Structure 1
Amino acid sequence: MTEPVARLTGHAVTGSRRLSGDLREATLDDERVVVAKHGHAPGAAEAEAAGLRWLAQPGVVRVPAVHGFDENWLVIDRVPDGRPSAEAAERLGRGLARLHASGAPAFGAAPPDGPADAWIGLAPMANVPGEDWASWYAEHRVLPYVRAAVDAGTFGPAEAAVFERACERFAAPAEPPARLHGDLWNGNVLWDGHEAWLIDPAAHGGHRETDLAMLHLFGCPHLDRVMAAYQEETPLADGWAARIGLHQLFPLLVHTVLFGQSYAGQAVAAARAVLEPFHRFE
C-alpha cells in the first residue's frame, strides 16, 4: 500500500495502519493523514474520484479531497473523528439543498470525466442520460436490479411483476436534474465534531428526493434538523414524504442484489406501496 500512496501523492509514507476492509490510513512525510482505498473492480476508483470532485466543485458540502487514483487505488483526505451535532446537521441540510441545485446535465449523467459504467457500493450502476425522470428511473435504476434479483433466484415472476407494474406508475414533480451524491445513507455521512462530510458517492444526475429518501431509509443523526434546514433553503414539492418509498426502491433493490432475501421483502413492499393509491380506484 505504501508504494501507490507515495506515487499518487508525491510524498513518502512515514506510517500506516489498516482501518477496515479495503481502507488503509497513511501518514505522509509532511504530516498529512490520508486514506487509501483499494478499488473492488476496474474503474471503481476512477468513478469515486470523479464523483468526489463533482460534489466538491460547488463548495457547498464537505467532501474529502482527492490526492490521486489509478486502476486499483484511490487516495483521499482522512476525515477527522467526531460526533454529530444539531448545528452541523442544519449546515448539512442547507449544503445538500445547494448541492442539488447546482444541477447536472441530465438524469443519469455521470460526473465530468467519470465513467458511464460506475458503481453503487459493490453493485454496478450504469450512468445513462435520459430526459424524463420517471422513465429513466424505471429503466436504469429499478428494472436492472429487479432482473439481477430474478437471475439470482431472489425474486420470482410474481415479485418481478409487482415492480414492472409500479414502473408504469412512476411520477414525481417536474424538476431539473439535481447533482446527487447517489448513495447517501447514514454510513456515508461522517461527522468531525463541527461539520458533516460526504464520502463514497455514486454520483450522477437524478431527482433530489432520491438522496433525501436514502437518508430516511437507514436513519441519520438529527435528520429532522437536516430536513428542516433543507426545506428552508429550497422547499420540496408538496407530497414529498409520500414519495419517499418510491425513491427508496433503488437502494432497496441494490441491497437485495448484494445481500439477498434480507432486503427482498422490504423492496417488494415498497413497490406495492407505490401501487396502493391506484388500487383504490381500480
Structure 2
Amino acid sequence: MAKYRKSRAFAPQGFFECEGKGLKWLGEARSQGGPRVVDVYGWGDGWLDIERVNSCSPTPKAAHDFGVALAHMHDAGAEYFGSAPAGYDGTCYFGPLQDPVPMDTGKWTNPVDYLGDGRLLPMVRLGIKRGELNDNDLQMTQEVIDALPDLLGPAAQDKPARVHGDLWSGNVMWTDDSGQAEAVLIDPAAHGGHREEDLAMLNLFGMPYLDEIIDGYESARPLKKGFPDRITIWQLYPIAGHCVFFGGGYVSEYRAMCRSLLS
C-alpha cells in the first residue's frame, strides 16, 4: 500500500503520536463492524506515515453503510468521557495542523461535566486569551453549561463512546479501492466522548448524503429522542475552536448559538 507522509516542523510534543494512536484506536473497532480507518505505518516528532487513499465520489449506499459502521465504532466505547486513545498518556489536540490547541483529557463520568469543564470552558478561556472572545462570552457559556442537564435530556445518560472528535466532511474520505465506494476516516482528535458529537460535526459544514448516514446509524443504534434539537449543543465546541483559530464571523456565530440554546 502506498504511503502518505503528513508532516509539520516544530509540531507540539506528542502531536503525531496522539494522532497515530488515535487512528489505531479507532481502527480497532473495525473488528466490531466499525468503519475503515487509514492504516498507520509510523510516526516521529514531526511526521506521521499513513496509508495513501485514492478518492472517489460517495454513493447513497456507501453513506448508509458508513452510518452503520460509525454506530459500531461508537459502541466500541471508552473508559471515560475525556479518555485519551489507548496507549497514549500525553497531550491531546484539536484543530488545524498549523495551529492545534490542547484538548483536555480526564475521567469525567457524565456528559454534562465533560462538555462543560473539559471542552467549552477551556476553549472559551483560550479565546479570551487570544482576544477573540470576552468575559461576556464566558458568562453566557457558563449559563449554557448550567442548563445542560435540561438541554441534553435523555442523552445525558449515554455512556462514553469511541469518537473521532473532528468528524467534519473533510475528514471522511471516500474510496473505491476495494471495488465499491466506502468511507475511510482520517485526521482524528480521537477520545472518549459522546456519540452525538461526531454526528453533530458531520452536520456542521455540509456532508454528502447526511440523511443516509443518519438512517444507517439509527438502524444500528437508535439515538435518544430529540437528537435534532441537541445538534447545536455539540457544535458549540468546534465553533468556539474556530473562534480561537480564525476569529471573524465565527465569534458572532458562537454567540448566536449560545443565545438560541438559552432562549
Matches for 1:1-282 after TM superposition, within 5 Å: 32-39=1-8, 40-59=11-30, 60-121=34-95, 122-171=100-149, 172=152, 173=155, 174-193=157-176, 194-276=181-263
3-state SS of 2:147 partner: coil
Partner SS, residue 136 of structure 2: helix
Over aligned residues, Cα RMSD in angstroms? 1.1
**Conserved 8 A contact 1:89-1:223:** yes
Deviation larger for 203-212 or 157-166: 157-166
Contact 1:43/1:115 (CA < 8 Å) preserved in 2?
Answer: no
TM-fit CA distance, 1:161: 1.3
User: How many residues were matched structurally?
Assistant: 245
For 1:259 and 1:58, how far apart are their aligned partners in 2? 34
* Kept after mapping to 2: 8 A contact 1:89/1:222: yes
For 1:44, the aligned partner's letter is F
Distance 1:153 1:52 in 2: 33
Q: Which fold has the larger relative contact order, with Cα–Cα distance below 8 Å and residues 6 or more apart in sequence? A: 2
The alignment partner of 1:168 has SS state of helix
| Inter-CA distance 197–48: structure 2 relative to 1 (3 Å threshold) | same
Q: Deviations over 1:112-153 (max 9, x none)?
A: 112341111222212122112101210111001111111122
Task: State the percentage of identical aligned residues.
Answer: 38
The Cα shift of 1:256 comes to 0.9
DSSP-derived class of the 2:48 partner: strand
Uncovered stretches (5+) of structure 1, i.e. residues with no partner: 1-31, 277-282
Spell out, residue by residue over 1:74-126, the C-alpha distance to the aligned partner (whole angstroms, 9 max, x if none). Answer: 10101112111111101110001101111100000011112341111222212
Structure having the higher Rg? 1
Between stretches 152-161 and 200-209, larger displacement belongs to 152-161
The gaps in structure 2 that reach 5 residues or longer are: none
Q: What is the distance in 2 between the residues matched to 1:148 and 1:120?
A: 13
The answer (yes or no) to whether the contact 2:25–2:86 under 8 Å persists in 1 is yes
CA distance in 2, matches of 1:195, 1:106: 30
TM-score (norm 1): 0.84
Question: For residue 101 of structure 1, what is the amino acid of its counterpart?
Answer: D
> Cα distance, 1:42 vs. partner?
2.0
